[in-house]
Amino acid sequence: MMIRERILLENKKIVVVGLGVTGSYTALFLSACGADVTATDVKPAELIECREELEKAGVRIEAGGHTEELFNGADLVVVSPGVRTDTGLFKTIKHHTEVISDVELLSRLTDVPIIAVTGTNGKTTTTTLVADILTRAGIRTFTGGNIGVPALKFFEQDYELCLLELSSFQLENIRTLRPRVSVLLNITEDHMDRYHSFRDYVDAKFRIFMNQKEEDHRVVNIEDSVIREELERRGIKEQTLLPFSTKRELKEGVYLTGDNIVCRYAGRESVYPVEGIKIEGTHNLENIMAGIGVALVVGVDEGAVRQGIYSFRGLPHRMETVRELNGVRYINDSKSTNPGSLKRALEGLGGEGKRVVLIAGGKDKGMDFSGLKDVVDSRVKLLILIGDARDKLKRAGFGTRTLDAQGLEEAVLMARDNAEPGDTVLFSPGCASFDMFRDFEHRGNCFKEIVRGL
């Protein structure tokens, strides 16, 4: 433990809200820094996994909910990303105590430069790619945040750079976090069960720029219509960004032209042929272009960038080919949890005509699926629906033949029986997984197991 954390945190009364992986780590970290920590969760005590470890470390636990009194006299409240802070309780607490996310706390405790990646989709893919490039370039890089590694683990080693994947929920509770490099990949509808409006969601995403100074860098997808409109609305000029585009040549920035990615930055130009890139779809080229943008502004040598982008094979559960059987390719895209990622999955498959059997559905997050109609009707020969969102999906009015399946296994069997050689069976749910599965990984692993057993 460094001295700085101890000085800033010793004897401070801190309440940690939410005791999942991140919250538990945060509570243990704070306690190790000498803070007086109370941790609380709506879950009953027996469902809190690290309970014993927390108690041993001197953390007081208030399980099964929390009342306002718990927060009285606290110097600081640190909330987990899953916790809603727009409720009456938190509005009251915020009158007397600061409420922040763990990434904000991290940023207050270090001067190491932060690179932050956000967007509705592609965060983990881009963050992983950037981490790989930076590591190849010999930079000691910490990677954490929404990617599944608690941000405060940063303090376990001596790093030169701090790379964070940030969700809109984490961004809601930053105050001073200032990324030296920020990345905004795209904004499409998501989490409409948690936000009052799409406007609120866009505002949360744009908080990534909030504390950046002129000399900092903003790597931004300039072709995303929501982002473009919002930049205009806020009067943010393109000259202050490092833009990337799949559609047009840029004087400065990263763009796609024919079969090449071209980078123009600080008076230099470099070219990366698309051929040889192993991850599929234009959306993945966007992720790669964002990754190159970060590498350019950090000053990584071109060799490391080339090695990084050409060796990157993508991540499980994101357009992952499971197998080919009787001329039919089966793809697991379980991480597709919103209509935007489902749309990009269908667009990214290549080929012409209706050659896709799509399995979609899951838990609805208050989403609007009507924007999928054109792409589904032009690409999908059979739509198989699972989960709670089935009826909602049907109301999008697809013209494609649609079947209902009771569960994932039945859906896969229906897909197998209806697919012909040359077709693709795509599992891209476009919905959350929590109706039938623990999480997207559990859902994807179930799909793979069923497909391997065919």
Cβ burial of 232 (10 Å; 0-12, 13-18, 19+) is: exposed
Among the listed ranges 123-131, 237-245, 358-366, 383-391, the one in contact with ligand ADP (CB under 6 A) is 123-131
Q: Which stretch binds ligand ADP (CB under 6 A): 50-58, 227-235, 279-287, 376-384?
A: 279-287
Q: Is 182 in the site for ligand ADP (CB under 6 A)?
A: no
124 counts as binding ligand ADP under rule CB under 6 A? yes
Residues 5 and 154: beta-carbon distance below 8 Å: no
Task: Please report whether residue 283 would count as binding ligand ADP according to CB under 6 A.
Answer: yes
From 41, 333, 364, 423, residue interacting with ligand ADP (rule: CB under 6 A): 333
Burial of 235 (0-12, 13-18, 19+ CB in 10 A): exposed
User: Is position 341 an interface residue for ligand ADP (rule: CB under 6 A)?
Assistant: yes
Measured from the CB atom, the residue of 31 and 336 that comes closer to ligand ADP is 336
> Which residue number, 40 or 284, has a Cβ lying nearer to ligand ADP?
284
Question: How many Å apart are CA 171 and CA 33, to the nearest integer?
Answer: 24
Interface pick for ligand ADP out of 170, 186, 212, 332 (rule CB under 6 A): 186
Q: Which of 66, 173, 186, 191 is catalytic?
A: 191
Let me know if 191 is a catalytic residue: yes
* Bridge partner list, 357: 382, 425
Contact 139, 206 (CB under 8 A): no
293 binds ligand ADP (CB under 6 A): no
What minimum distance in Å lies between the beta carbon of 365 and ligand ADP? 13
Which pair of tokens denotes residue 188?
A: 């499409």
Would you call 255 exposed, middle or buried from its count of C-beta atoms within 10 A (0-12, 13-18, 19+)? buried
Residue 66 is a binding residue for ligand ADP (CB under 6 A): no
Q: Are 290 and 126 in contact (CB under 8 A)?
A: yes
Residues that contact ligand ADP, how many (by CB under 6 A): 20
| Cβ neighbours of residue 185 closer than 8 Å, sequence gap 6 or more | 117, 118, 119, 120, 121, 122, 123, 126, 221, 224, 286, 287, 290
Q: Which of 66, 121, 123, 186 does the annotation list as catalytic?
A: 123
CB of 131 to ligand ADP, least distance (A): 13
143 near ligand ADP, judged by CB under 6 A:
no
Q: Pick the binder of ligand ADP from 51, 191, 218, 318 (CB under 6 A).
A: 318
Q: How far is the CB of 44 from ligand ADP (least distance, A)?
A: 30
Which segment (130-138, 210-218, 283-291, 323-331) binds ligand ADP by CB under 6 A?
283-291
- 237: left (phi > 0), else alpha (psi -120 to 50), else beta? beta
The span of 54-62, 263-271, 338-346, 445-453 binding ligand ADP (CB under 6 A) equals 338-346
Pairing of strands 242-245, 253-257: parallel
Q: Does the footprint of ligand ADP cover residue 185 (CB under 6 A)?
A: yes
CB of 366 to ligand ADP, least distance (A): 18
Residue 4: partners with Cβ closer than 8 Å, 6 or more residues away? 109
Counting Cα atoms < 13 Å in the Cβ hemisphere of 16 gives: 27
Distance, CA of 194 to CA of 311 (rounded, Å): 37
Task: Please name the residue that has the structure tokens 């990366």.
Answer: 272
Based on CB atoms, which residue is closest to ligand ADP, 38 or 170?
Answer: 170
- Does residue 335 belong to the site contacting ligand ADP (CB under 6 A)? yes
Stretch that binds ligand ADP, among 65-73, 95-103, 333-341, 396-404 (CB under 6 A): 333-341
> Is residue 96 flagged as an active site residue?
no
Among positions 372-401, residues that touch ligand ADP (CB under 6 A) are none
Q: CA–CA separation, 333 vs 444, rounded Å?
A: 7
Q: Is 146 an active-site residue?
A: yes
Task: Give min distance, CB of 98 to ligand ADP, in A.
Answer: 28
Q: 352 exposed, middle or buried (CB, 10 Å; 0-12, 13-18, 19+)?
A: exposed
Q: Does 191 bind ligand ADP (CB under 6 A)?
A: no
* DSSP-assigned states of every residue in 21-70: HHHHHHHHHHHHTT-EEEEE-SS-GGG-TTHHHHHHTT-EEE-S---GGG
Q: Are 333 and 345 in contact (CB under 8 A)?
A: yes
CB of residue 172 vs ligand ADP: minimum separation in angstroms? 16
Q: In the complex with ligand ADP, which residue's Cβ is closer, 54 or 184?
A: 184
**205 contacts ligand ADP (rule: CB under 6 A):** no
Please state at what angle helix 123-136 crosses helix 302-311, rounded to 10 degrees: 130
> Based on CB atoms, which residue is closest to ligand ADP, 71 or 206?
206
Q: What is the DSSP string of 363-395?
A: B--S---GGGHHHHHHHEEEEEEESTTHHHHHT
Q: Minimum CB separation from ligand ADP for residue 100, in Å?
A: 22
Measured distance CA(344)–CA(340) in Å, rounded? 6
Residue numbers of the site for ligand ADP (CB under 6 A)?
A: 119, 121-125, 185-186, 283, 286-287, 318-319, 333, 335-336, 340-341, 344-345
Positions marked catalytic: 123, 146, 191
